[in-house]
Amino acid sequence: MKQRAQTARLRAVDQAYLSRGAVVSNFLLNGLRSVELGVTDIAATERFFTEAWGLRVVARAGAAVYLRATGAAHHVIALHPAARSSLLSVTLTAASKAAVDAVAERIAGFGGKVLAAPGAVSEPGGGYATTIADPEGRAFRVITGDEQHAATAAASDVPERLAHVVLNGKDPRKAIQFIVDALGFKLSDHTRIMSFARTNRDHHSIAMANGDAVTLNHIAFLMPNLESVMKGAGRLKDQGYPIEWGVGRHGPGHNVFAYFVGPGGLPVEYTSEVDEVGDDYKVGNPEDWTWPPGRIDHWGISAPPSDRLKQAQNHIAFA
Ligand SMILES: [Fe+2]
């Protein structure tokens, strides 16, 4: 019975993946740009992201380092010196200053608060942004008008952009509901332990996972395709960063995955082939996402997540 439920859901998702022309109505926000991290060893983390992960340094400001992927986003990761590994903010993009202002105005009505009022951004990439916190203290910055790169040629083994960020907390459904209500995302799926929401065609840009504390579960980088995930994973392995979980294909989002642990216990994922969905996507529930015995992904070729990954996925808190 469970097997049949999974098969039915997979067929529906295959259909969604193929129907890229599906109608997508306007969202308040339109994407995920970057994650700002506090790191204890900036040089080692920069080396990891440039030599192993495939990003490039695009700017420096004081001790901070800004790293870009091949896509248009000015940067996808910012590294700031810190006494302990920490998450500073997750930066989402808006199409207009009005949308940024709207977020700041409406946030208190949903139990959040404004950490930085809308205004010009002084760090590399510039733009106009506001920073808000959800009721449990997760910090999100919403930005518009930031610099975009014109040179965006893809490369076969390096990331194009961020795909999604997953954050932990005691009540993923409640946490994702704030993202939906306050930031205008749409729900995509609930599983037993995770809830997924989208703000464009991507099946999810933010997901909330079940955990003891409000921490970072992982940051996922979009690779051009499955071949790129495999090539990137090989390069990571060569450089002393083995695959901690994968290669596999997830249920919700149907994306291919390979997880790694970077310096300071940073949980990162290469992903590709994430479903693109439209307004007609039916929100899935835990009963839609059961696995046959022994399975936790569609392929079943990978060992379960390593203890090292599990540890990494529950220790980086917001500063
Ligand atoms: Fe992921």
Q: Are 313 and 267 in contact (CB under 8 A)?
A: yes
SS3 track for the chain: CHHHHHHHHHHHHHHHHHCCCCCCCCCCCCEEEEEEEEECCHHHHHHHHHHHHCCEEEEEECCEEEEECCCCECCCEEEEECCCCEEEEEEEECCCHHHHHHHHHHHHHHCCEEEEEEEECCCCCCCEEEEEECCCCCEEEEEECCCECCCCCCCCCCCCEEEEEEEEECCHHHHHHHHHHHHCCEEEEECCCEEEEECCCECCCEEEEECCCCEEEEEEEECCCHHHHHHHHHHHHHCCCCCCEEEEECCCCCCEEEEEEEHHHEEEEEEECCCECCCCCCCECHHHCCCCCCCCCCCCCCCCCCHHHHHHCCCCEEC
pLDDT digits (tens, 9 = 90+) for 91-145: 999 999 999 999 999 999 999 999 999 999 999 999 999 999 999 999 999 999 9
Q: Tell me, yes or no, whether 153 lies in a domain.
A: no
Can you name the residues that pair with 53 across neighbouring β-strands?
none
Residue 111 · residue 91 · CB < 8 Å: no
Where a domain ends, among 86, 119, 144? 144
Q: Which sign, positive or negative, has the C-alpha torsion 82, 86, 92, 96?
A: negative
Query: Within this chain, do residues 125 and 17 fall inside the same structural domain, yes or no?
Result: no
Write down which residue in 117, 144, 171 finishes a domain. 144
CA of 204 to the centre of ligand 1 (A): 9
Q: Are residues 228 and 287 in the same domain?
A: yes
Domain co-membership, 36 together with 169: no
**For position 253, what pLDDT does the model report?**
95
Both 174 and 199 in a single domain?
Answer: yes
Residues 17 and 163 in one domain: yes
Residue 15 has pLDDT above 90, yes or no: no
In this predicted structure, the answer to whether residue 3 has a pLDDT above a threshold of 80 is: no
Q: Are residues 185 and 247 in the same domain?
A: yes
What spacing in Å lies between the alpha carbon of 255 and ligand 1's midpoint? 8
pLDDT value for 23: 82
Indicate the residue among 86, 115, 144 that finishes a domain. 144
**220 C-alpha vs ligand 1 centroid, how far in Å?**
5
34 C-alpha to ligand 1 centroid (Å): 15
Distance 299 CA to ligand 1 centre (A): 16
- CA–centroid distance, residue 62 to ligand 1 (Å): 31
Q: Is the domain of 229 the same as that of 257? A: yes
In a domain, 9, yes or no: yes
Predicted TM-score (pTM) of the model is 0.94
Reported confidence tier of residue 21, pLDDT bands at 50, 70, 90: low
Q: How far is the CA of 63 from the centre of ligand 1 (A)?
A: 29
| Residue 213 pLDDT | 97
2: pLDDT strictly greater than 50: no
Task: Look at residue 66 and tell me if it is in a domain.
Answer: yes
| CATH code assigned at 8 | 3.10.180.10
Look at residue 149 and tell me if it is in a domain: no
Considering the domain architecture, whether residues 16 and 52 belong to the same structural domain is answered as no
User: How far does the centroid of ligand 1 lie from the alpha carbon of residue 246, in Å?
Assistant: 11
Span 230-235, average pLDDT: 98
Distance 6 CA to ligand 1 centre (A): 19
In this structure, are 228 and 192 located in the same domain?
A: yes
CA distance 276 to 307: 31
Task: Report the separation in Å between the CA atom of 184 and the middle of ligand 1, taken as the mean of its atom positions.
Answer: 21
**pLDDT band, very low/low/confident/very high, at 152 (cuts 50, 70, 90):** very high
Residue with tokens 């080396």: 47
Is the same domain home to 184 and 213? yes
Average pLDDT, the chain: 93
Domain count, the chain: 2
CA distance 198 to 306: 28
Q: What's the pLDDT band for 12 if we cut at 50, 70, 90?
A: very low
Model pLDDT, residue 25: 80
As a whole-number percent, the residues of the chain with pLDDT over 90 amount to: 92
pLDDT range class, residue 283, cuts 50, 70, 90: very high
- Mean pLDDT for 258-269 is 98
- Cα of 28 vs centre of ligand 1, distance in Å, is 23
Distance between Cα 79 and ligand 1 center (Å): 21
Q: How does residue 10 score in pLDDT terms, banded at 50, 70 and 90? A: low
Identify whether residues 188 and 289 lie together within a single domain: yes
Question: Hey, which residues does 197 pair with through a beta bridge?
Answer: 187, 206
pLDDT at 122: 97
For residue 151, tell me if it sits in a domain: no
Does residue 170 belong to any structural domain of this protein?
yes
Band of pLDDT at residue 226, cut at 50, 70 and 90: very high
The answer to whether residue 152 is domain-embedded is no
In a domain, 313, yes or no: yes
How far is the centre of ligand 1, averaged over its atoms, from the C-alpha of 254 (Å)?
Answer: 10
Which residues constitute the domain of residue 132?
Answer: 31-144
The answer on 166 and 265 residing in a single domain is yes
65-99 pLDDT, tens digit per residue, is 999 999 999 999 999 999 999 999 999 999 999 99
* Averaged pLDDT for residues 228-239: 98
Query: Confidence class of residue 9 from pLDDT cuts 50, 70 and 90?
Result: low
Cα–Cα distance, 120 to 110 (Å, whole number): 25
Half-sphere exposure of 82 (CA within 13 A, CB side): 19
| Residue 20 pLDDT exceeds 60 | no
